[in-house]
């Protein structure tokens, strides 16, 4: 009897993967535990090995298609062996499953004409959220792979609908929702269409969802890095003997820890019941993958790390991110995020919050600038710190207190 190749559980909370590449094709021989295909979840690529030795008899999941944990990806067996009939094949682009969609229960201002369309596969999570909020999925524009409707699309639709209901009784509509949809761009001769990668689609979904979710506010301060520069120069060779590259990122991480410990509300998430302040301090580190996008591995228990341990962890996560060796758990559980956009020369920026976190700190390029110190002109290595926070959780004053603590920790480094 042929053996089923199933989508394994790749980490806590991982319910679905995207098949990115088959390493074997139908008819190929494969050994037990030999890599059979690559899948992607949370922007992390992972190889799935063959559960047994044999011949790949049938591949059910196409490249680029999503598949839920436990879904059948392929069959492996003896050449010529019959493959059992599959009643519920995994999700694929060529044969999307269609589910009945819940219909909006309340009367809506700005309602669009109902036009039936094939909305493709709808995951149980999406269907459940749509049913709970009374959302007609025919009206939701999908941003997932091949236009698939994601959980974030439904949640964004709900938020937009709430704002429309609030204002409908007092504001005369000027334009219909169809006018608010992104304009359709048709290529002309000479244009080049670069297909979206899985990572790029995931980034797009998360960024749009974050902007729909949190009222983003930016506050900026600059820090004198003189003491940090001096400390690093005095210790980088000592760290190197332990095989650790002492980067400035380790200092920024340590300063963030000091700020989060002084102002715990920054280490939090918004919920309908109240602000959830996290006990653990797990700091995400935005890491560029070049033209493919970025990924945010998480430093777990950052408040328990010395500078040496912090630098070692930063090195490890950055190296594994760029060599595509991260595991799904490496990018989960973050409570705050650092993005060092100054690596590419940017002075300051307006980063997007990594949901469901309260804030994100952007660090600009360090430059020697003329500043006034004790009523005297001096040249110091300066850096802009850009803190973007969720205005539902923090007000300007509390956000500035946190950022000031980060600044003071860097400037008074001992």
User: Of 234, 268, 227, whose CA–CA distance to 251 is shortest?
Assistant: 227
Read off the CATH number of the domain in which 42 is found: 2.40.50.100
In a domain, 86, yes or no: no
Residue 129 has phi, psi (to 5 degrees) of -65, -40
Residues 242 and 110 in one domain: no
- Structural domain includes residue 185: no
**Lowest mean per-residue pLDDT among 42-46, 202-206, 407-411:** 42-46
Kindly state whether residues 389 and 255 are assigned to the same domain.
yes
Of the pLDDT bands very low, low, confident and very high (cuts 50, 70, 90), residue 167 is very low
pLDDT at position 178: 47
Residue range 107-160, pLDDT digits in tens: 333 333 344 455 666 766 777 788 778 888 877 877 765 567 877 778 888 877
Measured distance CA(281)–CA(299) in Å, rounded = 8
The answer to whether 118 touches 98, Cβ cutoff 8 Å, is yes
208 and 221 in one domain? no
| Average pLDDT over every residue of 70-82 | 89
For residue 120, what pLDDT is reported?
A: 65
Based on the domain organization, do 222 and 197 belong to the same domain? no
Domain boundary (77, 105, 131) is at 77
Picking from 12, 47, 77, the residue at the C-terminal end of a domain is 77
204 and 307 share one domain: no
The answer to the question of residue 9 being in a domain is yes
Residue 103: pLDDT band (50, 70, 90) is very low
Cα–Cα distance for residue pair 119/14, rounded to 1 Å: 23
pLDDT, average across residues 313-323: 94
* Domain boundaries, position 269: 215-411
Mean pLDDT, rounded, for 341-370: 95
Q: Is 83 exposed, middle or buried (0-12, 13-18, 19+ CB in 10 A)?
A: middle
Longest dimension (CA), the chain: 86
The average confidence (pLDDT) of the chain is 84
146 lies in a domain? yes
CATH number of the domain at 314, please. Answer: 3.30.559.10
Handedness of CA 86, 87, 90, 96 (dihedral sign): positive
Same domain, 170 and 278: no
- Does pLDDT of 86 surpass 80? no
37-65 average pLDDT score: 89
Whether 352 shows a pLDDT value over 50: the answer reads: yes
The verdict on whether 395 is a catalytic residue reads yes
Give percent of the chain with pLDDT exceeding 90.
57
Residue among 143, 26, 28, 17 at smallest CA distance from 90: 17
The residue-averaged pLDDT of 77-92 equals 64
What lies within 8 Å, CB to CB, of 407 at 6+ separation is 221, 222, 223, 255, 385
In a domain, residue 186? The reply is: no
240 lies in the same domain as 230:
yes
When comparing pLDDT for 277 and 41, which is higher? 277
Q: Are 140 and 152 in contact (CB under 8 A)?
A: no
pLDDT tens-digit series, residues 89-101: 444 443 333 333 3
User: By the 8 A CB rule, do 49 and 73 touch?
Assistant: no
Task: Give the C-alpha separation, 56 to 77, whole Å.
Answer: 7
Q: Quote the pLDDT of residue 146.
A: 59
Domain identity same for 237 and 349: yes
143 Cβ contact list (under 8 Å, min separation 6): 150, 152, 153, 201, 204, 205, 208
Catalytic residue among 216, 330, 395, 400: 395
Candidates 45, 136, 391, 400; catalytic one: 391
Q: Is residue 277 part of a domain?
A: yes
Lowest mean pLDDT among 113-122, 358-367, 379-388: 113-122
End-to-end CA distance of the chain: 67
Rg (alpha carbons) of the chain, rounded to whole number:
25
Q: Is 82 contained in some domain?
A: no
Give me 224's structure tokens: 């004198």
141 within 8 A of 115, measured Cβ to Cβ? no
pLDDT band per the 50, 70, 90 thresholds, residue 185: confident
Calculate what percentage of the chain has a pLDDT beyond 70.
Answer: 84
Beta bridge partners of residue 40, listed in sequence order: 18, 45
Asked whether 286 and 256 are in contact (CB, 8 A), the reply is no
Q: Encoding tokens for residue 312?
A: 């070692």
Of residues 366 and 110, more confidently modeled: 366
Please name the residues in contact with 193: beta carbons below 8 A apart, sequence gap of 6 or more.
Answer: 187
Give yes or no: residues 266 and 406 share one domain. Answer: yes
In a domain, residue 329? The reply is: yes
pLDDT digits (tens, 9 = 90+) for 253-287: 999 999 999 999 999 999 999 999 999 999 999 99
Domain edge (last residue) among 44, 77, 110: 77
Residues 24 and 116 in one domain: no
Residues 287 and 345 placed together within one structural domain of the fold: yes
Number of folded domains that form the chain:
3
pLDDT-derived band of residue 72, with 50, 70 and 90 as boundaries?
very high
* Alpha carbons 365 and 340: distance in angstroms, whole number: 8
Q: What is the pLDDT of residue 135?
A: 83
Per-residue pLDDT tens for 215-248? 999 999 999 999 999 999 999 999 999 999 999 9
Residue 124 is predicted with a pLDDT of 63
Q: Do 219 and 208 share a structural domain? A: no
Active site residue 400: no
Which residue would you say has higher pLDDT here, 349 or 129?
349
């Amino acid at each position: 009897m042929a053996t089923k190749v199933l989508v394994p559980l790749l980490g806590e909370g991982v319910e679905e993967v995207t098949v990115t590449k088959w390493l074997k094709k139908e008819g190929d021989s494969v050994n037990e535990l030999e890599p059979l295909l690559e899948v992607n979840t949370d922007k992390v690529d992972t190889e799935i090995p063959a559960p047994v030795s044999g011949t790949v008899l049938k591949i059910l999941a196409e490249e680029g298609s999503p598949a839920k944990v436990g879904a059948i990806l392929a069959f492996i067996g003896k050449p010529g062996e019959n493959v059992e009939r599959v009643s519920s094949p995994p999700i694929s682009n060529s044969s999307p499953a269609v589910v009945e969609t819940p219909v909006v229960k309340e009367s809506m201002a700005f309602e669009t004409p109902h036009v039936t369309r094939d909305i493709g596969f709808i995951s149980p999570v999406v269907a459940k959220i749509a049913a709970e909020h009374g959302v007609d999925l025919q009206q939701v524009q999908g941003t997932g792979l091949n236009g698939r409707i994601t959980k974030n699309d439904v949640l964004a639709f709900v938020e937009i609908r709430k704002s429309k209901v609030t204002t409908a009784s007092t504001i005369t509509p000027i334009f219909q929702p169809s006018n608010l949809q992104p304009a359709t761009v048709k290529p002309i001769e000479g244009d080049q269409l670069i297909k979206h990668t899985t990572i790029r689609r995931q980034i797009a979904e998360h960024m749009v969802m974050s902007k729909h979710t949190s009222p983003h506010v930016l506050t900026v301060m600059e820090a004198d890095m003189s003491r940090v520069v001096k400390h690093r120069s005095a210790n980088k060779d000592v760290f190197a003997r332990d095989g650790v590259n002492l980067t400035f990122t380790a200092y920024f991480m340590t300063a963030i820890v000091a700020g989060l410990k002084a102002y715990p509300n920054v280490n939090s998430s918004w919920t309908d019941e109240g602000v959830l302040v996290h006990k653990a301090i797990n700091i995400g580190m935005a890491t560029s993958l070049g033209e493919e996008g970025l990924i945010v591995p998480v430093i777990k228990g950052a408040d328990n790390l010395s500078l040496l341990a912090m630098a070692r962890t930063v090195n490890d996560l950055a190296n594994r991110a760029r060599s595509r060796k991260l595991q799904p758990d490496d990018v989960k559980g973050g409570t705050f995020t650092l993005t060092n956009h100054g690596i590419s020369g940017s002075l300051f920026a307006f980063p997007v919050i990594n949901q469901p976190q309260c804030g994100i700190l952007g660090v600009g390029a360090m430059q020697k600038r003329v500043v006034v110190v004790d009523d005297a002109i001096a040249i110091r290595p300066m850096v802009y710190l850009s803190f973007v926070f969720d205005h539902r959780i923090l007000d300007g004053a509390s956000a500035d207190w946190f950022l000031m603590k980060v600044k003071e920790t860097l400037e008074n480094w001992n």
